[in-house]
């Protein structure tokens, strides 16, 4: 998207709006519905993509699939929607999630309040009118009392700074901005950079089609089987009969997925019992190994080592060539301190004759040339390069807009890392809400439920303002300071800060290295948010 050219005269948009919303993914769509149809506000969402879907519009690379079960990774706000929609697989693939979000947009008549192909490029709070003044890249200016970000947490892709990138003569693709038309890999020499969740999914699929696939791996990951399968009719019936209870259980579980049987500590059971639990979880699939075995895997190094060693053994069992197996075995970071990816046949991909793994940790990529990628003295000749190199997570999408008021600009306010109250609001930026913002559970909480919780909370806050004659809400400096201390205190006993990951902002050069997530689980977070409301919003100045 281009910025507004200097020569374009700014048009004041005529619509009278109460709320401007960034994006039309899971967060933007439910915001339009809730604010418009429940609160009766005049709203407009601006979406940079050519259609609704957010993450699931952009990340349409081969193999893209959600690693949370489909009935969990869906909206809970409408019982009719839950009952009428049928998921075809246990874990939904990207095209099915995109169909679902399109269905939601149509079913709740949301499209008329969404402007596609339009990106918000700046936002300034005007104290006098108590309104946000928002510029879009079509040259228009819009005003509204409330400004709500559904910009997403993994929506600003990160491209590595590699010498000669522009000189490559072949095709290049980014998993996070994949084209709509099918990309033909047949017979081609393809290189993939990146072995995170996206890389692992795309590598497995491209290997089946490419003439030769070369994977450039910097850090090996602890991937475990997803165990996808078609949705069973009887299971679907049981889910639909028990949705209310399932949602209740989800919202009271750490990750927002109610896996039963989690034990307190891996060190409190015998080695045999531990092995049994890991084997069961590995066989069951999904996030069960991470979230359904032992509660102390992310706080106790010794416990974590047992899960890590279990997964290392599995990798060695599954990869035929011992040298390749060693390269694929993570040794430098604790399990789950980088987001653990899920896979279907990923490790077996390296048993294929047409796949080569190249380590670029000890010898990094030297340069890209017209012919391919040079690592040390070796030139890997390629027809296609796929970048699966991650995102400027959580803060990136908000900082690229840089909302401002007379007192605060977000880039300055967050120069040393995000500062928020509840991961939802920012001191100095009144009437601005960040759905699944940094310092909220966000990426460590089943995203559709995390999104609904935030939108329900901010809707209640706006309704409360209306009932009590307030027009302006702003987090206090003290509440913001306390929240920062609390999130840091919760993160302290965990192993996350020992690893350079996007959770820590460490994948982006120059980004402050701080833990970006509220880590005490959905249940505790929801309790704190409810308390804020019950006590009459003590962390906010309302006037
Ligand atoms: P991730 O998990 O951030 O993975 C990015 C990958 O790209 C990771 O393996 C990086 O290695 C690698 N990378 C990044 N820059 C380079 C360079 N310069 N050279 C080699 N390798 C590089 O992003 P994903 O899109 O896979 O997943 C993001 C989230 O989306 C995921 O966690 C789910 O929540 C959904 P590194 O590990 O930094 O050494």
Q: How far is CA 360 from CA 205, 299, 327, 485, in A?
A: 22, 30, 11, 37
Assess whether the C-beta atom of 198 lies below 6 angstroms from ligand 1.
yes
Q: How far is CA 287 from CA 257, 282, 292, in A?
A: 9, 9, 7
Assess whether the C-beta atom of 197 lies below 6 angstroms from ligand 1.
yes
Q: How far is CA 217 from CA 156, 205, 344, 362, 365, in A?
A: 22, 17, 18, 10, 10
Task: Provide the pLDDT confidence category of residue 11 given band limits of 50, 70 and 90.
Answer: low
Assess whether the C-beta atom of 218 lies below 6 angstroms from ligand 1.
yes
Assess whether the C-beta atom of 193 lies below 6 angstroms from ligand 1.
yes
**pTM, entire model:** 0.96
- Ligand 1 test: best mutation among 55, 338, 368, 507, most atoms within 8 Å of CB? 507
- Ligand 1 test: best mutation among 63, 154, 218, most atoms within 8 Å of CB? 218
Note the pLDDT tens digit of each residue in 430-465.
Answer: 999 999 999 999 999 999 999 999 999 999 999 999
The CA 389 to ligand 1 mean position distance, Å, reads 4
DSSP string across 146-202: EEEE---SS-SB-----TTGGG--SEEEEGGG--SSPP--BT-EEEEE--SHHHHHH
The residue whose CA has the least distance to atom 37 of ligand 1 is: 219
The CA 175 to ligand 1 mean position distance, Å, reads 11
Count of CB atoms situated within 10 Å of the CB of 72 = 23
Q: Is the pLDDT of residue 13 over 60?
A: no
* Tokens encoding 170: 């072949």
The CA 370 to ligand 1 mean position distance, Å, reads 24
d(CA 105, CA 53): 9
d(CA 128, CA 141): 17
Expressed in angstroms, the distance from the first to the final Cα of the chain is: 38
DSSP string across 342-371: EESSHHHHTTSTTEEEEE-SSS-EEEE-SS
DSSP letter for 265, please.
-
* pLDDT, mean of residues 179-200: 98
Burial class (CB in 10 A: 0-12, 13-18, 19+), 472: middle
Q: What is the pLDDT of residue 326?
A: 98
The torsion angles phi and psi of 313, rounded to 5 degrees, stand at -60, -40
Q: Is the pLDDT of residue 8 over 60?
A: no
The CA 511 to ligand 1 mean position distance, Å, reads 15
Note the pLDDT tens digit of each residue in 382-419.
Answer: 999 999 999 999 999 999 999 999 999 999 999 999 99
The torsion angles phi and psi of 384, rounded to 5 degrees, stand at -140, 140
Q: How far is CA 175 from CA 130, 393, 477, in A?
A: 40, 15, 39
Pairing of strands 365-368, 372-375: antiparallel
d(CA 204, CA 63): 7
The residue whose CA has the least distance to atom 4 of ligand 1 is: 196
Q: What is the pLDDT of residue 461?
A: 98
CA proximity to 144, closest of 255, 251, 12: 12
Q: What is the pLDDT of residue 7?
A: 34
The residue whose CA has the least distance to atom 18 of ligand 1 is: 160
The residue whose CA has the least distance to atom 29 of ligand 1 is: 197
Q: Is the pLDDT of residue 40 over 60?
A: yes
Q: Which residues contact 482 (CB under 8 A, 6 or more apart)?
A: 539
Q: What is the pLDDT of residue 172?
A: 98
Q: How far is CA 314 from CA 278, 311, 329, 343, in A?
A: 11, 5, 10, 13
CA proximity to 442, closest of 500, 478, 493, 397: 397
The residue whose CA has the least distance to atom 12 of ligand 1 is: 194
Q: Which residues contact 499 (CB under 8 A, 6 or more apart)?
A: 333, 334, 337, 338, 506
Assess whether the C-beta atom of 390 lies below 6 angstroms from ligand 1.
yes
- Please identify which residue in the block is written with the tokens 């079509």: 138
The CA 196 to ligand 1 mean position distance, Å, reads 5
Element holding 336 (H helix, E strand):
none
């Amino acid at each position: 998207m281009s910025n507004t050219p200097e020569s374009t005269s700014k048009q004041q948009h005529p619509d009278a709006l109460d709320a401007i919303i960034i994006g039309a993914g899971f967060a933007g769509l439910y915001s339009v519905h809730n604010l418009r149809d429940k609160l009766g506000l005049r709203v407009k969402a601006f979406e940079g993509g050519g259609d609704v879907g957010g993450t699931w519009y952009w990340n349409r690379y081969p193999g893209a699939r959600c690693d949370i079960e489909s009935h969990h990774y869906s909206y809970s706000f409408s019982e009719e929607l839950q009952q009428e929609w049928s998921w075809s697989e246990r874990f939904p693939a990207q095209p099915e999630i995109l169909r679902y979000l399109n269905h939601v947009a149509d079913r709740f008549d949301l499209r008329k309040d969404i402007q596609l192909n339009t990106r918000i490029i700046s936002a300034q709070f005007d104290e006098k009118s108590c309104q946000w003044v928002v510029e879009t890249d079509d040259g228009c200016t819009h005003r509204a009392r409330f400004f709500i970000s559904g910009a997403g947490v993994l929506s600003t892709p990160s491209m590595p700074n590699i010498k000669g990138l522009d000189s490559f003569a072949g095709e290049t693709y980014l998993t996070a901005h994949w084209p709509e038309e099918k990309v033909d890999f047949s017979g081609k020499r393809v290189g993939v950079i990146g072995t995170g969740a996206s890389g692992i999914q795309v590598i497995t699929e491209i290997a089946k089609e490419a003439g030769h696939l070369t994977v450039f791996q910097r850090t090996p990951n602890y991937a475990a089987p997803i165990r996808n399968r078609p949705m069973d009719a009887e299971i679907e019936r049981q889910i639909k009969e028990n949705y209310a209870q399932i949602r209740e259980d989800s919202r009271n579980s750490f990750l927002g997925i109610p896996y039963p049987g989690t034990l307190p500590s891996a060190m409190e059971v015998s080695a045999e019992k531990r092995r049994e639990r890991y084997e069961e979880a590995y066989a069951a699939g999904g996030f069960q190994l991470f979230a359904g075995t032992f509660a102390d895997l992310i706080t106790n190094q010794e416990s974590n080592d047992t899960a890590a060693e279990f997964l290392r053994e599995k990798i060695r069992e599954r990869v035929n060539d011992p040298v390749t197996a060693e390269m694929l075995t993570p040794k430098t970071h604790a399990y789950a301190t980088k987001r653990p990816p899920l896979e279907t046949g990923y490790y077996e991909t390296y048993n294929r004759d047409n796949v080569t793994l190249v380590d670029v940790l000890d010898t990094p990529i030297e340069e890209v040339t017209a012919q391919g990628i040079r690592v040390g003295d070796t030139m890997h000749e390629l027809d296609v390069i796929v970048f699966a190199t991650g995102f400027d997570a959580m803060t990136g999408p908000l900082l690229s807009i840089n909302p401002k008021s007379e007192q605060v600009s977000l880039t300055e306010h967050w120069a040393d890392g995000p500062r928020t109250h509840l991961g939802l609001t920012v001191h100095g930026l009144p009437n601005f809400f960040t759905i699944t913002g940094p310092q909220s559970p966000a990426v460590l909480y089943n995203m559709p439920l995390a999104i609904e919780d935030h939108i329900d909370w901010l809707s209640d806050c706006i309704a409360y303002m209306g009932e009590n004659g307030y027009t302006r809400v702003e987090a206090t400096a003290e509440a913001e300071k306390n929240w920062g201390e609390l999130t840091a205190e919760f993160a302290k006993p965990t192993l996350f800060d020992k690893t350079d990951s996007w959770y820590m902002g460490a994948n982006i050069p120059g980004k402050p290295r701080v833990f970006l997530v509220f880590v005490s689980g959905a249940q505790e977070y929801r309790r704190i948010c409810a308390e804020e409301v019950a006590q009459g919003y003590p962390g906010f100045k309302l006037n």
